[in-house]
């Protein structure tokens, strides 16, 4: 195992590079490629590095293993952190996956994988999110203060969280969708909307979508 450039844990596999781009797979952040200049630029910026690790994990969940270069660093600096409810949902979802979807089991409430999934750069944030979920009934307290027991209700709560968000997560976009606006949409509007927990619905694609149903 080697040190992940994002979460800073000894949790990454990386084959010998054949160029200045490294293919990496971190147990916490997921799969990604990173250029040496981008890696060097993150050495002294731990908050940005962690932020990118959270973003990489998010992209993996969407089916993408992104390339991180210096241009990507500049774009992700503008990517907003999810709100608290979304972070709690992300925390709970990762906890369930860490237990392979079992109905019950113990979790380390401050595990690096949970920190990354819930955008918790500050370690005490994972404790706060875990206590919030404990109050909702997703977890039971155990004698070990660093562990909680996930129970069956957690799965019900998680399904409700995802369902509620999905029902109200579309952001209707009416704007001039000329090819000249592609970069502004891809690197500006879409990034901000996705980061806020919404899915952009473009008016120029709405009729096209109907025709394909």
**Are the C-beta atoms of residues 134 and 107 closer than 8 Å to each other?**
no
How is residue 147 annotated by DSSP? Answer: E
Which sequence spans correspond to the domains of the chain?
A: 2-76, 84-167, 170-211
CA distance 78 to 115: 20
Indicate the fold that domain 84-167 takes in CATH.
Answer: Arc Repressor Mutant, subunit A (1.10.10)
Beta bridge partners of 49: none
What is the pTM for the complete model shown? Answer: 0.77
Cα-Cα-Cα-Cα dihedral sign, residues 175, 177, 178, 182: positive
Sequential pLDDT tens for the chain (213 residues): 899 999 999 999 887 777 789 999 999 999 999 999 999 999 999 999 999 999 999 999 989 899 999 988 988 888 888 999 999 999 999 999 999 999 999 999 999 999 999 999 999 999 999 999 999 999 999 987 789 999 999 999 999 998 876 555 556 565 556 676 677 667 666 666 666 556 666 555 544 333 343
The answer to whether residues 42 and 27 touch, using CB atoms and an 8 Å cutoff, is no
- CA dist 189 and 195 (Å) reads 10
């Amino acid at each position: 195992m080697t040190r992940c450039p994002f979460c800073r844990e000894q949790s990454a596999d990386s084959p010998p590079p054949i160029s200045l781009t490294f293919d990496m797979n971190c147990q916490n952040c997921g799969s990604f490629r990173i250029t040496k200049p981008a890696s060097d630029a993150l050495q002294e910026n731990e908050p940005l590095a962690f932020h990118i690790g959270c973003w990489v994990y998010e992209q993996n969940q969407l089916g993408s293993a992104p390339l991180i270069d210096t241009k990507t660093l500049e774009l992700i600096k503008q990517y907003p952190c999810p709100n608290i409810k979304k972070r709690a949902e992300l925390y709970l979802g990762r906890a369930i996956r860490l237990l392979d979807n079992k109905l019950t089991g113990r979790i380390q409430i401050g595990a690096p994988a949970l920190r990354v999934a819930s955008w918790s750069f500050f370690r005490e944030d994972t404790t706060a999110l875990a206590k919030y979920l404990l109050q909702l009934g997703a977890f039971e307290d155990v004698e070990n203060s660093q562990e909680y027991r996930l129970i069956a209700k957690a799965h019900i709560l998680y399904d409700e969280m995802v369902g509620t968000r999905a029902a109200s997560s579309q952001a209707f976009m009416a704007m001039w969708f000329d090819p000249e606006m592609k970069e502004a949409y891809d690197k500006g509007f879409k990034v901000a909307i996705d980061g806020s927990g919404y899915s952009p619905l473009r008016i120029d694609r709405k009729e096209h979508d109907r025709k394909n149903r």
